[in-house]
Chains A and B, each alone.
Chain A
Amino acid sequence: MKELLLKLEPVIWLLFGQGIMIGTMLLTAWLAVVGVGIPLGIVPADALSYDRAHALGANLIGRLVLLALIALPLWKGAHHMRHVSLDMGGLDRDTVVAPLLYGIAALGSLLAIVAVVRL
């Protein structure tokens, strides 16, 4: 497992880096509007009525943005949490923690692909 993780490290680092860079840029808007603005009534709810939301998300650019919005933060989160665990003396438990966290990120990314394809 340790060897496999070392081999995958460049790919994981790429996804982690893009999770910080692109994920942060996309999440800022998503959280401000969908997570806070609409629930608090700052943004009118009909801005994301089903028809409008579907029209925005169901084209090629919309699907790619939504895929990045879901998948990249998952990889940023998984890699950072793994390293917090390592920093807290978790070298011995890394053979469980790393596959678990990267497994969640990988499964979430696959489901994200399915989610944007079925729009």
Chain B
Amino acid sequence: MARASHPHAMAPTRPGRTRTAAPMMPAQFPLSGRYFTYTLFGATGALYLLAGLVALRVIWALGSGPAAWQSVMTQLAHPLYVLFHLVTLAAVIFVGVRFFRLFPKAQPAKIGPAKPPPQPVLHVMLYVIWVAVSGGLALVLAGGIF
């Protein structure tokens, strides 16, 4: 059953002349039905934030010299770090799959005289770019090229 939401959620800055119903929180929010993936999508924000901070720490160590670099690489081998990175990798793939499915649907019908490609083409293009960028960077980092 739907329940009351915050009384000022979605409220305009100035009240209109037309009376509107008070906002209600959907009954399935936050973890049931289609809201589960919506909430999960938002919750990946915590992992992205932490992953960015860990990356900052790693690059900072790279600028601090060989000893700091070796130390941070040793720390990254700790099981908790590996577990965190595995979970974050799964979250990143989830975000990519969901976002690249939504992205074509969110495009305007026209930008000036130009029309975007059909949705399935755009969807495939995003996957091609994702595989190319991620695969290329992974090859560079793993010593496959350069």
Contact = CB atoms under 8 A, between A and B. Distances in A.
User: In the complex, which range does the number of interface residues on chain B fall in?
Assistant: 35 or more
B116 interface: no
Main secondary structure of the interface of A (DSSP, over half): helix
Contact of A27 (B48, B53, B60, B136): B48
Given A70-B55, A70-B59, A30 B141 contact: yes
A53 B73 CA distance: 11
Nearest to B54: A35
B85 A35 contact: yes
A112 B142 contact: no
Interface in B39-55: 39, 41-55
B48 A23 contact: yes
A72 B53 CA distance: 11
Contacts of B85: 31, 34-36, 39
A12 interface: no
B42 A84 contact: yes
Interface string A18-42: 0111011111111111111111100
A30 B56 CA distance: 12
A88 interface: yes
A47 B42 CA distance: 34
Contact of B70 (A26, A50, A72, A92): A50
A89 to B, nearest CB: 5
Interface in B71-88: 73, 76-77, 81-82, 84-86, 88
Contact of B138 (A33, A39, A91, A104): A33
Given A20-B99, A47-B143, A39 B76 contact: yes
Given A29-B136, A69-B55, A104-B49, 7 more contacts: A24-B92, A30-B55, A47-B142, A57-B62, A77-B50, A78-B49, A92-B6
Interface of B: 5-6, 8-9, 25, 29-30, 39, 41-56, 58-60, 62-63, 65-66, 69-70, 73, 76-77, 81-82, 84-86, 88-89, 92-93, 95-96, 99, 129-130, 133-138, 140-143, 146
9 contacts: A23-B48, A26-B137, A28-B92, A43-B143, A50-B66, A81-B42, A101-B49, A112-B59, A119-B63
